[in-house]
Homo-oligomer: A and B are copies of this chain.
Amino acid sequence: MDIQNRNGLDLNQMGQTVAALKNDPSLAQFEFRASNQWMNGGENRSTIRGFYGAGAEDESRQADFVFTNGEPPVLLGNNEGANPVEFLLHALAGCVTTTTVLHAAARGITIRKLSTRLSGNINLEGLLALNDEATVGYESIRTLMDIEADCSEEELNELLSFAKDHSPVCNTICRPVQVSLERV
């Protein structure tokens, strides 16, 4: 095994990044962005490309990422894309996974395989304002993880607990985060 690379991450670059951030914490400030255009009904499209981080505007992306939200027929759409609450699960699954892989690499743990299945319940009476008692968003979200790694069960469980606590998307969902809405 190449000791400069663990779980697909470059350990040299990881060490340099951590050293740079310790030396100048302002480099750790990132701003992420998305632009979204309503198409029709439950269909809308996001464009994602630039962000600010590590003290500069990122210019590494050669093209926009474009994603379409849609709704299934039972929610008045035509399956133009996954719907927003499903994209939230995709974001959460990816963030918990990447955070696990990253901190495993930092601890010298090799991940052999990792997959997750997420599910969450939503009472549509909340969205539709049919019942003031109904929760509007997810009641809770369950993550089932299938993982194999070259460490003890105890080390693996500690890693997963640490990764969950340090995943930015998981933290944004678990903690109350303010969302502002202004017109331009």
Contact = CB atoms under 8 A, between A and B. Distances in A.
Given A79-B61, A130-B22, A169-B137, A94 B176 contact: no
Contact of A99 (B22, B61, B127, B175): B127
B180 A82 contact: no
A184 interface: yes
Contact of A17 (B9, B67, B76): B76
The number of times this chain is found in the oligomer is: 2
Nearest to A172: B137
Interface in A85-143: 85-99, 101-103, 111, 113-131, 134-143
A118 B61 contact: no
Interface residues of A, number: 127
Given A29-B123, A173-B172, A143 B179 contact: yes
A46 to B, nearest CB: 4
B33 A89 contact: yes
Given A96-B181, A137-B169, A177-B173, A90 B13 contact: no
A88 B88 CA distance: 6
A34 B118 contact: yes
Contact of A174 (B114, B160, B167, B176): B176
Given A32-B89, A34-B89, A174-B176, 5 more contacts: A36-B117, A38-B115, A142-B182, A172-B173, A173-B173
